[in-house]
């Protein structure tokens, strides 16, 4: 479950607050046995998206969102998309000005397409990571159980 939660939040356009969102997800889920998950593992999986992978991932979300919204004529190229983001960090001085410009770009200009476009990836990769990690954990437990059983049989035979 932790892998699924971490991957879900990793594939949202919320780099910088994804770990907080994992915490906010964990707080109510920890009271339910079947939904409880390891917060540290969820945090680690949010690092799939980071400041180095942010713009390519955001661009994929943006294009997907534009297509889902039926805006086929409003698909900007990658250079134009990155240029808008680059302008925020080069023309604004200070943390708060950059943060305000970032919020404006996400909320007013590209936000709707980013949020809608991230949903198939967040849900899809979250589900796939859940299935993969569950299969991995079950395999590891089965291997460990077999190894312990073999050790027990070897000790009885000695």
pLDDT of residue 75 exceeding 80: no
Query: How many domains does the chain contain in total?
Result: 1
**Could you read off the pLDDT of 100-142 as tens digits, one per residue?**
777 776 666 678 888 999 999 999 999 999 999 999 999 999 9
Q: Give the separation between CA 61 and CA 120, rounded to whole angstroms.
A: 9
- The model's confidence at residue 154, banded by pLDDT at 50, 70 and 90, is confident
Q: Which region among 7-16, 31-40, 64-73, 105-114 has the lowest average model confidence (pLDDT)? A: 105-114
Distance of CA 118 to CAs 36, 45, 51, Å? 25, 17, 17
What is the span of the domain harbouring residue 81? Answer: 2-157
Residue 155 has pLDDT above 60, yes or no: yes
Q: Is the pTM of this model over 0.85?
A: no
């Amino acid at each position: 479950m932790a892998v699924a939660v971490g991957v879900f939040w990793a594939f949202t356009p919320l780099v910088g607050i994804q770990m907080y969102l994992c915490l906010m997800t964990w707080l109510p889920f920890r009271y339910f046995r079947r939904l409880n998950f390891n917060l540290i593992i969820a945090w680690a999986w949010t690092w799939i998206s980071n400041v180095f992978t942010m713009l390519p991932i955001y661009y994929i979300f943006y294009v997907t969102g534009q297509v889902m919204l039926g805006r086929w004529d409003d698909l900007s190229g990658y250079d134009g998309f990155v240029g808008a983001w680059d302008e925020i960090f080069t023309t604004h001085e200070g943390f708060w000005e950059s943060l305000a410009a970032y919020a404006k770009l996400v909320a007013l200009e590209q936000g709707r397409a980013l949020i809608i476009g991230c949903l198939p990836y967040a849900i899809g990769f979250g589900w796939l990571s859940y299935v993969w990690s569950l299969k991995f954990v079950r395999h590891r437990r089965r291997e460990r159980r077999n190894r312990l059983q073999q050790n027990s049989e070897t000790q009885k035979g000695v």
